[in-house]
Amino acid sequence: MVGITSYGAYVPLYRLNRAEIGRAWDIPAAPGERAVANYDEDSLTMAVEAARDCVRGIDIESIDGLFFASTTSPYKDKQSAATIAMVLGMNRESVTMDFGGSLRCGTNALRAAVDAVRSGSANNILVIASEMRLGHPAGANEISFGDGAAAVLIGSKAAIAEIEGSHSIYEELQDFWRSDRDLFVRSAEDRFIVDVGYNKVVPAAVTGALKKFNLRSKDFSACVLYVPSQRQVGALVKKLGFDPKTQSKDTLFANIGDAGSAMPMMSLVQALEEAAAGNRIMLVAYGNGCDVFSLKISDAIARAKPEGRMGIAGFMASKKMLSNYNRYLRWRELVMVQPPARPPIEYRMPGPQALWKENEKELRLRGTKCKNCGTPQYPPQRVCVNCHAKDNFEYYLFSEKKANVFSFCHDHLMATINPPVTVAVLDFEGGGRMLMDMTDRDPAECKVGMPVDLTFRKLYYVAGIHNYWWKCRPAR
Amino acid sequence: MEGIKDKVAIVGMGCIKFGENWEQTIDDMIIDAVYEAYDDAGIGPDDIQAAWWGSVWAGETAQIAASPLKLGYIPFTHVENACATGSEALRGACYAVASGVVDVALAVGAEKLKDTGFMGLPQVRPIATWSYRVPSDTPPAEFAMMATGYFAKHGLSVEEGKKLLGQIAVKNHHNGSLNPKAHFQREITLEMVMNAPIVAYPLGLFDCCGVSDGAAAAIVTRADMAKRFRPDPIYIKAATICQGPREGFLSQNYDFAHVEETKRGAIAAYKEAGIRNPRGEISCAEVHDCFTITELTIYEDMQLSNPGQAREDIQAGTFALDGKLPINTDGGLKCFGHPVGASGLRMMYEVYKQLQGKADKRQVKNPRLGLTHNQGGAPGTATVSVVIAGNELG
């Protein structure tokens, strides 16, 4: 029985009240708020977060595949799945793939994973969809979009949601697109997309799927349907014979925003959080065609609630409001601010050789633990800082450890997109000390002794290289 | 282990006016500092048998100093030990004379920082030890974390802590106002300190030293030859360097409220100089006030305050010009700025003048022993030089 064996999600801490966008441009803005990834986040870092939320309590060695889906992968030519697999510490013989190209790439990856596990070519595949899309400033997309990610683990043992069937159709249609030269998502006229896109493609796909699955709409307790319009979701659900009130409970559009290809899986995670054994969920995702899945919830759902998993519910509740829209523009580097009177960032241009040499250490945050005196230390030390034993250590992962702030400061001199740079000395539970940037923090709230989590972030971008490492953040 | 006490004497020193020396090249600064030292010692370039050049950013090899000085074809060594570079050049020259290999040696340090076009110190990217995946901070941040750590350890609110630090800045600016060679010669008030913009929280503008151009030089010789050059040579009692192994960033044992290298470097220097009661025996000290918190922690780390008494000493004015143990009588890094390669030698220039009774309006009474504390690196990973000098043998 192939299905979802675990799930996780990620929503950035910051939300922007859509009214702020309206206020900034003197335009009407939709109600609600949208999630805004911090300046040091992107689709890759959010994917790491969702993946870590999903694999909590699971032996990483048991996972032998990772599919990453996004239309906003940091690189056009360089695989993000491989980076994420390295950060998670996955077995080197895992199959890694990037999916992209449409709003449907998340469910494309899901279907590919299900088929791969079903065929026996892999045992457990982690599927992650993550998006950080840009709409034109002052446009409808900027208002409706939101950033976020979700991850599901596809396996054949102890699935909490069996994937009973899948069905897809394709459609060649210039409805939403972003060319290789575009920064912002473009779209065709709304009415054309509704008539020729949603209203033709989705019913055709769902009708075909129900026929293929030999099921009717009333056999489902929930219909998780994604088209990039909150209003059209309601209309389509009704049109397909589902009850919008009882079978479609999506709250993501209003509180997080339209997360594109990550949205179907984020909505699915939200549905799984509320599902009970025996429930059946239909998942429908639109984008140059349509993917439809039928999922049957098993008894395992009651047991599959690992301690510490945030999921959509947890991350949605954990939030801070952005004080204004300018901050969003600054984080996305959509306005030119006065450059700091500091050395240009080029002096920190990473050498690929130096990055590669330190991958195990830095991407996994792998230090050492002295076998003689037991002191954990990072960076890895061949001669122990405490007892000076030489070459008598085992590797030790700091990325999973909790830490407390021993000291900190807010550096107003350091060049950054989001001043000031907060730097903290961290003492780790179980031992070990490290200096790290702190992100997602309100400077006024920082205190000695405060608990922090580790989070994988982008340090900076220079000369075509996105340079990632770990930071800490106040515990969410 | 004999140590260096009374083997070497300084017989000439030079120090230019520090500041934004827009119209001076580094060659000009080196020449002005070294020729002042020649004149002070009553010698010329032909008398120098070996030389040490201290600079972090001026460039490679000692050619940077040898070329303007035309000190050719003698041993000329370039040293770098971060912000302790100037003292490291002096230590090299002293060790050469103490070893008996040469009789007269020159130490010179200079830095031209104001040509970078940006604030703060230049950034360097070493090839072998650089990691690109590291947190991003600047020197003020590294020391600000010691302020946070000190306040936390001693139960001070940020306001209480900043007021304490502010008094150090006010003191040093007062001293600097009496010094025509200082970059900043203006008195400041505690109110100005408290209301200044934040550079690295909790440190504000007046908690941080400036960035300046500057140069200083010393001529050293054998103690037994010193009086051939001048009647009032200054004898080296200790010249130590204490290099930390970066434990503070690896081990939870470090408290971010003191500098271990300062503590241990001072113990080693006092031992070498035969000083048992530093607070009672030291007449004046030039210490590394790159940030006010650094000077605060130095008081206790160097045993100039009794344990836990730094706060009381600050409030009692112990380290003021008219106090029991005047510290940074020339204005310190706070008023001279920090042209890195020059700073250690600039500190010794003040101690030298004080011990000779030539410190003008800043003169302390009847000085016998003075010290310099010159720190490279940051709390948790520092390189600390302590040099002790006296105006009498024994």
Whether B250 and chain A come into contact, CB under 8 Å, resolves to yes
Report which DSSP code applies to A232.
H
* Mean pLDDT of the B78-92 span: 97
User: Which of A358, A411, A412 lies at the smallest CB-CB distance from B133?
Assistant: A358
Residue A164: pLDDT over 90 = yes
What is the band of A453 on the pLDDT scale with cuts at 50, 70, 90? very high
Residue A360: pLDDT over 80 = yes
| Exposed / middle / buried, residue A130 (Cβ in 10 Å: 0-12, 13-18, 19+) | buried
User: Which of B130, B131, B200 lies at the smallest CB-CB distance from A413?
Assistant: B200
- B150, part of any domain: no
Whether A443 and chain B come into contact, CB under 8 Å, resolves to yes
Residue B274: CATH number of its domain: 3.40.47.10
**Positive or negative CA dihedral for B319, B320, B323, B327?**
positive
Q: State the Cα–Cα distance between residues A38 and A196, nearest whole angstrom.
A: 36
pTM: 0.95
Q: Report pLDDT digits (tens) over A403-419.
A: 999 999 999 999 999 99
Q: Of B83, B284, B290, B335, which residue is the catalytic one?
A: B83
Report which DSSP code applies to A258.
B
- B138, part of any domain: no
CB < 8 Å to A408, chain B: 145, 148
Q: Cβ–Cβ of B252/A377 closer than 8 Å?
A: no
The answer to whether B347 and B172 are in contact (CB under 8 A) is no
> Which residues touch A38 (CB under 8 Å, ≥6 apart)?
A12, A13, A14, A331, A418, A439, A440, A457
Residue of B nearest to A347 (CA): B125
Q: What is the pLDDT of residue B24?
A: 97
Q: Cβ–Cβ of B116/A385 closer than 8 Å?
A: no
∠ CA A173-A177-A180, nearest 5°, is 125
CA distance A416 to chain B (A): 9
Residue B125: pLDDT over 80 = no
Whether A375 and chain B come into contact, CB under 8 Å, resolves to yes
Whether B73 and chain A come into contact, CB under 8 Å, resolves to no
How much is the ipTM here?
A: 0.94
Residue B162: pLDDT over 90 = yes
Q: Hey, what domains does chain A have and what are their CATH numbers?
A: 3-331 (3.40.47.10), 345-364+399-474 (2.40.50)
Q: What is the pLDDT of residue A200?
A: 97
Residue A151: pLDDT over 80 = yes
Residues of the domain holding B370: 8-117+209-390
Residue of A nearest to B200 (CA): A411
CB < 8 Å to B204, chain A: none
Q: Of B78, B183, B258, B338, which residue is the catalytic one?
A: B338
CB < 8 Å to A460, chain B: 136
Q: Report pLDDT digits (tens) over A423-440.
A: 999 999 999 999 999 999
Strands B50-54 and A280-286: unpaired
Residue A342: pLDDT over 90 = no
Residue A348: pLDDT over 90 = no
CB < 8 Å to A427, chain B: 252
The yes-or-no answer on residue B78 being catalytic is no
**Number of structural domains in chain B:** 1
Q: Cβ–Cβ of B250/A381 closer than 8 Å?
A: yes
Q: What is the pLDDT of residue A466?
A: 97
What is the band of A26 on the pLDDT scale with cuts at 50, 70, 90? very high
Whether A431 and chain B come into contact, CB under 8 Å, resolves to yes
Q: What is the pLDDT of residue B26?
A: 97
* Mean pLDDT of the A276-305 span: 95
Residue B1: pLDDT over 90 = no
CA distance B207 to chain A (A): 14
Best residue in B115, B130, B252 for a mutation probing chain A (most A CBs within 10 Å): B252
- B202, part of any domain: no
> Which residues touch A93 (CB under 8 Å, ≥6 apart)?
A64
Report which DSSP code applies to A464.
T
- B308, part of any domain: yes
Amino acid at position A128, single letter: I
Q: Cβ–Cβ of A409/B250 closer than 8 Å?
A: no
CB < 8 Å to B117, chain A: 341
- B369, part of any domain: yes
Q: Report pLDDT digits (tens) over A108-138.
A: 999 999 999 999 999 999 999 999 999 999 9
Q: Which two tokens stand for residue B109?
A: 């340090």
- B293, part of any domain: yes
Q: How far is CA B326 from CA B180, B321, B373, in A?
A: 19, 5, 14
* Mean pLDDT of the A299-321 span: 93
Strands B214-222 and B369-378: unpaired
Within 301-330 of B, beta carbons closer than 8 Å to A belong to none
Within 377-396 of A, beta carbons closer than 8 Å to B belong to 377-379, 381, 385-386
Q: How far is CA B120 from CA A160, A342, B144, B338, in A?
A: 57, 7, 15, 10
**Positive or negative CA dihedral for A219, A224, A230, A236?**
negative
Instruction: Give the count of Cβ contacts less than 8 A between chain A and B.
Output: 136
CB < 8 Å to B136, chain A: 411, 414, 416, 421, 423, 437, 459-460
Short-list B193, B207, B85, B58, CA closest to A409:
B207
Whether B348 and chain A come into contact, CB under 8 Å, resolves to no
Best residue in A412, A441, A446 for a mutation probing chain B (most B CBs within 10 Å): A412
Residue A249: pLDDT over 90 = no
* Mean pLDDT of the A155-167 span: 96
The overall average pLDDT reported for chain A is 96
Q: What is the pLDDT of residue B137?
A: 87
∠ CA A64-A69-A73, nearest 5°, is 115
| Exposed / middle / buried, residue A245 (Cβ in 10 Å: 0-12, 13-18, 19+) | exposed
Whether B120 and chain A come into contact, CB under 8 Å, resolves to yes
CB < 8 Å to B247, chain A: 385
Q: Cβ–Cβ of A413/B149 closer than 8 Å?
A: no
**Positive or negative CA dihedral for A417, B127, A437, A56?**
positive
Which residue would you say has higher pLDDT here, B161 or A246? B161
The yes-or-no answer on residue B83 being catalytic is yes
Q: Cβ–Cβ of B251/A408 closer than 8 Å?
A: no
- B235, part of any domain: yes
Whether A407 and chain B come into contact, CB under 8 Å, resolves to yes
Q: State the Cα–Cα distance between residues B52 and B97, nearest whole angstrom.
A: 12
What is the band of A251 on the pLDDT scale with cuts at 50, 70, 90? confident
Residue B128: pLDDT over 80 = no
- B301, part of any domain: yes
The answer to whether B385 and B344 are in contact (CB under 8 A) is yes
Q: Cβ–Cβ of B245/A385 closer than 8 Å?
A: yes
| Exposed / middle / buried, residue A419 (Cβ in 10 Å: 0-12, 13-18, 19+) | middle
Whether B161 and chain A come into contact, CB under 8 Å, resolves to no
CB < 8 Å to A350, chain B: 132
Q: What is the pLDDT of residue A305?
A: 83
Q: Map chain B to HEC letters.
A: CCCCCCCEEEEEEEECCCECCCCCCHHHHHHHHHHHHHHHHCCCHHHCCEEEEECCCCCCCCHHHHHHHCCCCCCEEEECECECHHHHHHHHHHHHHHHCCCCEEEEEEEECCCCCCCCCCCCCCCCCCCCCCCCCCCHHHHHHHHHHHHHHHCCCCHHHHHHHHHHHHHHHHHHHCCCCCCCCCCCCCHHHHHHCCEEEECEEHHHECCCCEEEEEEEEEEHHHHHHCCCCCEEEEEEEEEECCCHHHCCCCCCCCCCHHHHHHHHHHHHHHCCCCHHHHCCEEECCCCEHHHHHHHHHHCCCCCCCCHHHHHHHCCCCCCCCCCECCCCHHHHHCCCHHHHHHHHHHHHHHHHCCCCHHHCCCCCCEEEEEEEEEECCEEEEEEEEEECCCC
Transcribe A238-254 into DSSP letters: HHTT--HHHH----HHH
